[in-house]
Structure 1
Amino acid sequence: MGIFTIQPVPFPAATPSTFLPMTWLTFFVAYLPALSCYFCIGSTLVLQQDVISNYSLSNCPHVKSPLPPISYSIGVWEPQKLVWLFALMLHLPARIILTMTVPQVYLPGLGKNIMTSAATFEALGLMCVSIFSVDSIIGFHAHASFFVVWWAAAMWSMGIIIHLQRLIGQKDTDPYIHRMWWIKIALMSSFFAVSVGASVFYPLSQIHCSVTAFTIFCLCEWSVVGLNAAFWGCYLTEIAREFEGFQVTAIKPRKGNLTEGTITPIDVEKKIENTLPGAVVVKVAY
């Protein structure tokens, strides 16, 4: 039989667990979507000038755009669309972990629930924007509506993070957090400003068939992606100063006689705390 021999382990088996480094979470949540988006835009500009030359404004078929909008770069043109969907497939599991665990650094209450809801809607909005592209069966207006959901949830997340850090006094006890707090305010303000710019210059470009207005819209749209990534990168970098990563551990139900050697959730958590300091525990019951 050799290496194909399967050796059973004594039952009950050891509690299954895995460790996810904080750098992994930061990259896949904050930076991967932005890098993939910019890769799709850059590859279109460099390798597919013919595609851009054939793209015209929706209400002005005789007006050609020199820059590709994000919606077409990641949702219509290929192979960029496939690259984006692959990046999204890697991003969403990390985002789910973020949604389930990062809000736990705050005490249970309204603020924590609001932050969890905001992070959830932000992920759902991004997923719907990617699936229901501008040329999907439900059309442009539905795509734009999902983008608004993502944008509102992103603003919601930024605002509640800044507010909670002020509320608990975190920015007043650590000079590093204090500097980063002001940086996050600047990023949120810039995010809002360029979003307003995009919402103003897009209709102007369609009404007046203005290439200049559409170019400014594209630049604002590109900036929104980068500013969102920078904000989450700053926040997760702050958390990385306190936590090394996330420990995903299966927890057995509280059954049986403790004197018979049954492993309880408390035992598992104590074991993790003793062997892996600086880890956030993600409990998976089965």
Structure 2
Amino acid sequence: MRVTGPGVDAITELGYQRARPGGGTAAARLTVGRLDVATVPEGCDAVLVTGDLQGVAASPWGGPPVLLGVALADYLSVWSEQGLLPPPGRVGVVLAGDLYSAPLADQRGASGAVDDVWLAFAAAGCPWIVGVAGNHDVVSPDDLRDLGPTAALLDGTCVDRGAVRFAGVGGIVGDPDRPGRRRENLQLTSIDAVLASNPDVLVLHEGPPGDRIGQPGNSTIGARLRAQAPALTVCGHVHWNAPLARLGDGHVLNVDDRAVILTSSP
């Protein structure tokens, strides 16, 4: 899944509510864009990559607001009918973590269960979902057991989907007494282990810095990846205004508060 396009082109957006600094809620827009890659997994026409969906939104099917990731999954069939996306049954999903929001979207940094987001993409008909947990996610493989082989929560592990190898490491570097954090040496050991499997796509929550101003990240992770960079590294945790950067022989795609559709041009 090597990037061939020059950048991410916006195709639609989704309104939602998120917590505002200092308290309360604020209106925001989730941009959905498209990026060309050389190939997508066999059996798919596209791959949806997203992360840091820390808000709530209305589902197109009505009812009270739901987690933004749930609303995004619900909108896939709507956008498909509008000709913006392939049918959900032809769209794989990659989740880069931090998918929780307080129910009223009025508390920054809230943590909680996110299995509903994974379940929503499965219910939408997506053939598979792979991803990692962010430092604000409460989710385990047991929580996703009912989805069977459709779902793969990665953490120092890899999985093949349609002849494409996905590897992932969840969480961030930090105080291990706090949720979703590991000592730096342990996080790097996990990253080294999955790099040894020669993945086509590496999924992280906390990723490397980009090669431009305004693309922050963990420089130690960046140094580790640069010598053996996969074709595509997906991450989030910190926001980049420009979501794409070069890393060694590959690219980094930052999906903090955005969704990107990866497609292969004929």
Query: What is the TM-score of this pair, normalised by structure 1?
Result: 0.25
Structure with bigger gyration radius: 1
Structure with higher helix content: 1
Query: What is the TM-score of this pair, normalised by structure 2?
Result: 0.26
Structure with higher strand content: 2
